[in-house]
Amino acid sequence: METALHRQLKTRFGPDVGGRSEVTLAGFRIDAVDPDGSLVEVQSGALGPLRAKLTRLLLEHRVRVVKPVVVSKRVVRRARRDGPDQSSRMSPKRGAALDVFDDLVGLIRLVPHPNLRIDVMEVSIDEIRVPRRRWPGFAVVDRRLREEIATITIQHPSDLWNLIPAPLPDRFSTVDLAEAIGRPMALAQKVAYCLRWSGAAEPVGKNGNRIVYERRD
């Protein structure tokens, strides 16, 4: 089921700026078309499923992928989906633009492309929950936008470095990367994969059994 967050972003990049939403083109359903004719795809989940669609559309169209990343959320409880809010609290969990690498691995082989722009949008949301008997005792029934905090645009390989909050040496391994970002090795490996395949970094040797990468700007 489409969330309020998805509808809000479609409207923001389509009708709110003089464009359109829910347009059929080349056999595909497009979330929005902005006033200059660029196609807009809003993707809250994994980006990989967009690859086949984008591969075809990018041949003739400019495409902007809007990827919201939740960096903060307020938990709103209701008795039922369409009922009134009963209580709310801010979740202690925090996210960051860096989290997009979990999903970006599925699309990175299209970067760079002259017709492709990826907007990583840090957002604050309301998460609507209703009670249920099974664990964990609630179901998330909707998400709605509270605030757009910042957007990082990816058009060139070097733009990926703007997603990484900590400085790295010009040459680094995934161990260095994991330490710098303070995240598990699994995410560091995804970051390295994206940097490598986009051309933002390239392998230049090994340190033991670990690949050493060199930054390319």
The pLDDT tens digits along the chain (217 residues) read: 799 999 999 999 999 999 999 999 989 999 999 999 999 999 998 999 999 999 999 999 999 999 999 999 999 999 999 999 999 999 999 999 999 999 999 999 999 999 999 999 999 999 999 999 999 999 999 999 999 999 999 999 999 999 999 899 989 999 999 999 999 999 999 999 999 999 999 999 998 999 999 999 7
Q: Are 150 and 194 in the same domain?
A: no
Task: State the pLDDT at residue 141.
Answer: 97
Q: Are 31 and 52 in the same domain?
A: yes
Task: State the pLDDT at residue 137.
Answer: 93
Task: State the pLDDT at residue 217.
Answer: 79
- Rounded to 5°, angle at Cα 43 from 142 and 213: 130
- In the numeric block, which tokens belong to residue 12? 């923001």
Q: Is residue 46 part of a domain?
A: yes
| Sign of torsion over alpha carbons 29, 35, 36, 40 | negative
DSSP 86: -
Task: State the pLDDT at residue 199.
Answer: 96
Q: Is residue 81 part of a domain?
A: no
Q: Is residue 137 part of a domain?
A: no
Tally of domains within the chain: 2
Q: Are 29 and 107 in the same domain?
A: yes
Q: Are 196 and 97 in the same domain?
A: no
A 10 A CB-CB count for 96 gives: 14
Type and span of the H or E element at 131? strand 116-131
Q: Is residue 37 part of a domain?
A: yes
Domain of residue 115 covers 4-72+89-124+143-155
Task: State the pLDDT at residue 182.
Answer: 95
Q: Is residue 4 a contact partner of residue 145, using CB atoms and an 8 Å limit?
A: yes
Q: Which residues pair with 62 in a beta bridge?
A: none
**Segment 37-55, tens digit of pLDDT:** 999 999 998 999 999 999 9
